[in-house]
């Protein structure tokens, strides 16, 4: 049983116009085996929250804490956070030319598990995991994410999620850009990972359609860099009906504010 | 320019200079060739061939000097075994006739080298030699030295030669390679000099009819290394592979200039140079000249240079030049790029648990591995990869290529003269 606690997290980014505050005191606690959906307007800071948790150097933490089972994540480098059990499936996965998927995955699994998997079981595990996600085996030989379609990149993220077996997974719009079949396949991958590991999930999404496959225990509304409302799964349906207007100052959109 | 009557010479299309022969008035290959250094001006950055060269750092090689004994060259087999009787090694005087050398020096540095070298080290391979021949060139001090090596593979012979440069030296070296008709020869020149070393010179290469030469240059150490490779053919249906691998650390200048001259029909050439740069003022230059003469219908030529800039403040010059004087060719292409390993790639890999140092290693290995395999000398593969790792480790403390947070890619710091894929 693990806990990820985010307390009053504040973060900013350096822009051409100067420093810009994006996270304005985020409070959120996620336990193992629970799924939290985070929904909110464009530009409200959801990806920034995800990146800040994972340790992206672009985002400066200005206050607050993040504890994984009491360990202060904010003092760790990104790779240390991953080894502590955090995983981020990115909204826009990065291409790494020249590094093959298979070599990268093996290196990552070795780093996270602290020892290299035996060649024989590893090859089998990888090909089975890829097959379950309906990924062509040829992808293993291709460079990491290079030339992958949007949907293929998302599958590759979930493949890593399954292989790395984190304690907590942050899924940043993993459902965006997926066709109906891919949505189901990817969701099944996430559910499998959760069943196998009992991980906690923080799932950023704009659409209720994925919530049919990955059932959230809690739904949060995220606006102007904060969690502004928390409810049960039914909150997602209300948001779908009514939008985010009531969470925004009158006559503005979040993007115009930002 | 005159052309043989059977070769049609249509007019060049300015929109697509590579589709049609460009009737260019002059060519690098028609520059002066001479054994007499007085025929060449002292290099300055105003000269096309020295445009990228920090001439002040190699000016000691522009004036005649008497070669010291600070550099020694010994010939053996790469596995330590005795020289087989398929290989004859001897020291020849430069006046000796009958040494099948390739041609005259192509610049002042080569002419000075020729004048300074006391003799020629001739490696004559007369029959198939499965184990690579190793020429061990060691530097024992920084007094100027000159060395001239002649390598010959007799007709239909298969052989590999590795020239290894280690230690500390200031060396002008000339290498002449002849792959006679039907032979299959590989020559690999590895530069693993200490940081205080300088190495200039040139390789002059001639490939006979139906012969294959694989010429590789691996430059991983030294302060300044500047090598030019001039290659042409001695008959039709020959193949030239010119491979290059370099890793340039802070403050170093490594320059490789390849000149491929297609002067016979239906020959094929491939030039592939790849380099990584790391550290302040790391500087690499690749200039790839390819000339397809009217006498070379059916030519298939391609050159590629890729650079991976790992940190801020490193500069990679990359310049392919094609001159096509023959409309009847199979292909002539080039590609050149300078890419950066950036913060986003590093973060992505780190976010999967991979430590920074290992992430860089993955990228650098991925960049070079295939080319190292292509060099085709298994006895040195692992060492090349290990040296690349060591060079990388030395530079890991340096800051990373790009802080993405200012939103401006620092393209000016890492510029390419040609970033198009063709
Ligand atoms: N590196 C950056 N430089 C400048 N502005 C940034 C940077 N990163 C984020 N921002 C700004 O911070 C705000 C929050 O961005 P973020 O990507 O976190 O939003 P989001 O909630 O994930 O939006 P979406 O739903 O569109 O994915 C936006 O206004 C964005 O433009
Ligand atoms: Mg986002």
Q: What is the DSSP letter of B11?
A: P
Residues B351, A81: C-beta atoms closer than 8 Å:
yes
Among candidates A56, A98, A160 on the partner chain, residue whose Cβ is nearest the Cβ of B363: A98
In angstroms, the first-to-last Cα distance of chain A is 38
d(CA B179, CA B206): 6
Domain boundaries, chain B: 31-341
Can you give the CATH number for the domain in which A78 is found? 3.40.50.300
Interfacial residues of A (vs B; Cβ cutoff 8 Å): 13-16, 54-58, 77-79, 81-83, 87-88, 90, 93-100, 103-104, 107-108, 111-112, 143-144, 160, 164
Nearest to B176 by CA among B117, B219, B239, B130: B117
pLDDT tens-place string over residues B394-417: 876 544 444 333 333 333 233 333
Sort strands A35-39 and B184-193 into parallel, antiparallel or unpaired.
unpaired
- Domain extent, residue A174, equals 3-95+168-247
d(CA B404, CA A149): 24
A48 lines ligand 1 (CB under 6 A): yes
Instruction: Say yes or no: B366 contacts chain A, CB-CB below 8 A.
Output: yes
Ligand 1 atom 28, closest CA: A43
d(CA B261, CA B232): 5
Among candidates B339, B348, B353 on the partner chain, residue whose Cβ is nearest the Cβ of A111: B353
- Give the residue-averaged pLDDT of A176-195: 95
d(CA B273, CA B287): 10
* pLDDT tier at B322, thresholds 50, 70, 90: very high
Residue A207 CA to ligand 2 centre (angstroms): 13
Helix B356-375 crosses helix B343-350 at what angle (to 10 degrees)? 110
Among candidates B348, B356, B407 on the partner chain, residue whose Cβ is nearest the Cβ of A94: B348
Asked whether residue A81 is assigned to any structural domain, the reply reads yes
- Predicted ipTM? 0.95
Half-sphere exposure of B27 (CA within 13 A, CB side): 20
pLDDT tens-place string over residues B62-72: 999 999 999 99
How far apart are the CA of B373 and the nearest CA of chain A, in angstroms? 15
pLDDT score, position B22: 39
Ligand 1 atom 2, closest CA: A13
B398 Cβ neighbours under 8 A, 6+ residues apart: B250, B278, B279, B280, B310, B311, B312
Q: How many structural domains comprise chain A?
A: 1
pLDDT tens-place string over residues B324-341: 998 899 999 999 999 888
User: Is the sign of the CA dihedral B370, B374, B377, B380 positive or negative?
Assistant: negative
How far apart are the CA of B313 and the nearest CA of chain A, in angstroms? 20
Q: What are phi and psi of B360, to 5 degrees?
A: -60, -40
Buried b (16+ CB within 10 A) or exposed e, B333-368: ebbbbbbbbbbbbbbbbbbbbbbbebbbbbbbbbbb
Asked whether residue A220 is assigned to any structural domain, the reply reads yes
Nearest to A90 by CA among A148, A5, A129: A148
pLDDT tens-place string over residues B278-311: 999 999 999 999 999 999 999 999 999 999 998 8
Tell me the residue ranges of DSSP E strands in A16-109: 18-31, 35-39, 59-68, 71-72, 86-89, 96-100
Residues B353, A82: C-beta atoms closer than 8 Å:
yes
- Checking if the pLDDT of A256 tops 80, the result is no
pLDDT tens-place string over residues B336-355: 999 888 889 999 999 999 99
Which of A11, A22, A202, when mutated, tests ligand 1's pocket best, judged by the most ligand atoms within 8 Å of its CB? A22
Asked whether residue A145 is assigned to any structural domain, the reply reads no
Q: What is the DSSP letter of B94?
A: T
Q: Name beta bridge partners: B27.
A: none
Which of A9, A10, A16, A20, when mutated, tests ligand 1's pocket best, judged by the most ligand atoms within 8 Å of its CB? A20
pLDDT tens-place string over residues B194-220: 999 999 999 999 999 999 999 999 999
d(CA A140, CA B422): 28
Q: Are A41 and A248 in contact (CB under 8 A)?
A: yes
């Amino acid at each position: 049983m693990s806990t990820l606690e985010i307390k009053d997290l504040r973060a900013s980014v350096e822009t051409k116009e100067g420093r810009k505050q994006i996270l304005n005191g985020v409070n959120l606690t996620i336990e193992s085996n629970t799924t939290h959906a985070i929904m909110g307007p464009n530009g409200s800071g959801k990806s920034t929250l995800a990146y800040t948790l994972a340790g992206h150097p672009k985002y400066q933490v200005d206050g607050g804490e993040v504890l994984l089972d009491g360990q202060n994540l904010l003092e760790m480098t990104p790779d240390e956070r991953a080894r502590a059990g955090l995983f981020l499936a990115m909204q826009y996965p990065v291409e790494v030319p020249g590094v093959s998927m298979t070599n990268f995955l093996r290196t990552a699994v070795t780093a996270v598990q602290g020892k290299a998997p035996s060649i024989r079981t590893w090859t089998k595990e990888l090909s089975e995991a890829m097959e379950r996600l309906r990924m062509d085996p040829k992808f293993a030989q291709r460079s990491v994410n290079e030339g992958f379609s949007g949907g293929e990149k998302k599958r590759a993220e979930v493949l890593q999620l399954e292989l790395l077996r984190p304690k907590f997974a942050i899924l940043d719009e993993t459902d965006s850009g997926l066709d109906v079949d891919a949505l189901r396949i990817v969701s099944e991958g996430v559910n499998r990972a959760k069943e196998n590991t009992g991980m906690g999930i923080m799932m950023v999404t704009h659409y209720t359609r994925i919530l049919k496959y990955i059932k959230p225990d809690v739904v949060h509304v995220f606006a102007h860099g904060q969690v502004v409302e928390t409810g049960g799964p039914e909150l997602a349906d209300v948001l779908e009906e009514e939008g985010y207007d009531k969470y925004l100052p009158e006559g503005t959109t979040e993007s115009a504010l930002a | 320019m005159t052309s043989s009557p059977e070769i049609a010479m249509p007019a060049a299309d300015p929109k697509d200079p590579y589709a049609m022969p460009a009737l260019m008035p002059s060519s690098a290959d028609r520059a002066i060739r001479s054994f007499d250094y007085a025929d060449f001006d002292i290099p300055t950055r105003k000269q096309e061939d020295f445009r990228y060269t920090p001439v002040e750092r190699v000016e000691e090689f522009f004036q005649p000097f008497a070669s010291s004994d600070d550099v020694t060259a010994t010939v053996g087999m790469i596995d330590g075994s005795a020289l087989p009787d398929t290989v004859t090694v001897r020291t020849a005087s430069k006046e000796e006739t009958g040494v099948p050398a390739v041609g005259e020096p192509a610049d002042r540095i080569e002419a000075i080298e020729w004048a300074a070298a006391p003799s020629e080290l001739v490696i004559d391979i007369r029959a198939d030699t499965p184990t690579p021949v190793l020429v061990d060139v060691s530097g024992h001090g920084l007094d100027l030295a000159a060395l001239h090596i002649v390598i010959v593979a007799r007709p239909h012979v298969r052989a590999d030669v590795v020239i290894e440069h280690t230690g500390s030296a200031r060396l002008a070296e000339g290498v002449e390679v002849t792959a006679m008709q039907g032979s299959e020869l590989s020559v690999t020149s590895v530069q693993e000099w200490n940081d205080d070393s300088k190495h200039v010179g040139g390789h002059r290469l001639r490939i006979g009819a139906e012969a294959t030469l694989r010429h590789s240059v691996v430059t991983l150490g030294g302060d300044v290394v500047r090598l030019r490779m001039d290659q042409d053919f001695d008959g039709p249906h020959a193949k030239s592979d010119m491979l290059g691998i370099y890793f340039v650390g802070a403050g170093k200048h490594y320059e490789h200039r390849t000149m491929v001259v297609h002067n016979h029909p239906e020959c094929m050439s491939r030039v592939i140079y790849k380099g990584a740069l790391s550290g302040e003022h790391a500087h690499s230059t690749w200039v790839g000249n390819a000339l397809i003469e009217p006498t070379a219908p059916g030519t298939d030529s391609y050159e590629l240079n890729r650079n991976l800039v790992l940190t801020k403040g490193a500069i990679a010059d990359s310049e392919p030049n094609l001159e096509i004087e023959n409309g009847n060719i199979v292909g002539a292409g080039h590609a050149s790029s300078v890419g950066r390993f950036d913060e986003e790639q590093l973060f992505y890999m780190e976010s999967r648990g991979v430590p920074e140092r290992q992430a860089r290693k993955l990228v650098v290995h991925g960049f070079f591995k295939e080319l190292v395999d292509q060099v085709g000398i298994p006895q040195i593969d692992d060492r090349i990869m290990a040296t690349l790792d060591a060079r990388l480790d030395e530079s890991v403390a340096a800051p990373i290529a790009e802080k993405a947070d200012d939103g401006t890619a620092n393209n000016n710091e890492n510029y390419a003269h040609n970033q198009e894929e063709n």
